[in-house]
Amino acid sequence: MNFDYYSFTGRNIGFIDEREQQLLRQARVFVCGVGGMGGAAFMALARAGVGKFVIADIDRFEVSNLNRQVFAFADEVGREKAEVAAEAAKRINPTIEVEVLAANWTSELPGIAARCPVIVNGMDDIAAGVHLYRTAKRADATVIDAYMSPLPSVIVVRPHDPRPEERLGFPTTAKDWTDITDDDRRAAMRAEIEHVMLHSSSRNYVDLAIAGEVAAGAAAGCRSRRW
């Protein structure tokens, strides 16, 4: 097959114009976590024609991922999620640039945020997420995220918007992200779930018993915030 970027993205024109498509081609996006929410965002952006990515994920695919994660297939179980996602993106667009980071990406975050004006947070790590948001603000980067909910609840946090820890009252605001405790994580998770249940239409559809389990921490080991 002779791949042609203009044929690949031609049906986008009308939703966006040709100048905007070229902006997407030159854009670089950091996707942190390519499992459930992050993986779906990465695939959608790759198919939209975004030309450059930095991705990170410290996990490997498990059988339990097969029911909802777009890059999870039975023959990929046991492989690193970021490597599989990068390979899949290159099968969609052979000209795409994908930089896969190692597990120590948190130490490189200031440089990453300086290169990537848009960041997709697909993690379920509260402490690393706090670090991500603080660093994004200093780098003038926008973060795309999703609340802790089994239904879509996407949010956009621009550089000058309050950080979620500030807006939702996490007990992390005066702490270095490396000093955040398990109790802090549980309190932050409860605050996020409570916000969704009070202010999002998700409350009309979720199983309240399960939501209660997650909020209480009883199901923390078996239910992910990135459904």
Task: Look at residue 162 and tell me if it is in a domain.
Answer: no
Task: Look at residue 48 and tell me if it is in a domain.
Answer: yes
Residue 191 or residue 142, greater confidence:
142
- Helix, strand or coil for residue 97? strand
Type of residue numbered 12: N
- Structure confidence at residue 220 (pLDDT): 47
CATH of the domain at 32: 3.40.50.720
Task: Look at residue 170 and tell me if it is in a domain.
Answer: no
The pLDDT tens digits of the residues spanning 6-52 come to 999 999 999 999 999 999 999 999 999 999 999 999 999 999 999 99
Q: What is the mean pLDDT of residues 158-171?
A: 96
**Structural domains counted in the chain:** 1
Task: Look at residue 189 and tell me if it is in a domain.
Answer: no
Task: Look at residue 36 and tell me if it is in a domain.
Answer: yes
Task: Look at residue 23 and tell me if it is in a domain.
Answer: yes
Residue 189 or residue 93, greater confidence:
93
Task: Look at residue 16 and tell me if it is in a domain.
Answer: yes
Q: Domain residues for 67?
A: 5-123
- Structure confidence at residue 194 (pLDDT): 82
Q: What is the mean pLDDT of residues 191-195?
A: 85
Query: What DSSP letter does each residue of 154-194 carry, written as one string?
Result: EEEE-TTSPPHHHHTT-TTTTS-GGG--HHHHHHHHHHHHH
Answer yes or no: are the C-beta atoms of 8 and 93 closer than 8 Å.
Answer: yes
Task: Look at residue 206 and tell me if it is in a domain.
Answer: no
**HSE (CB half, 13 Å, CA atoms) of 78?**
2
Average pLDDT of the chain is 90
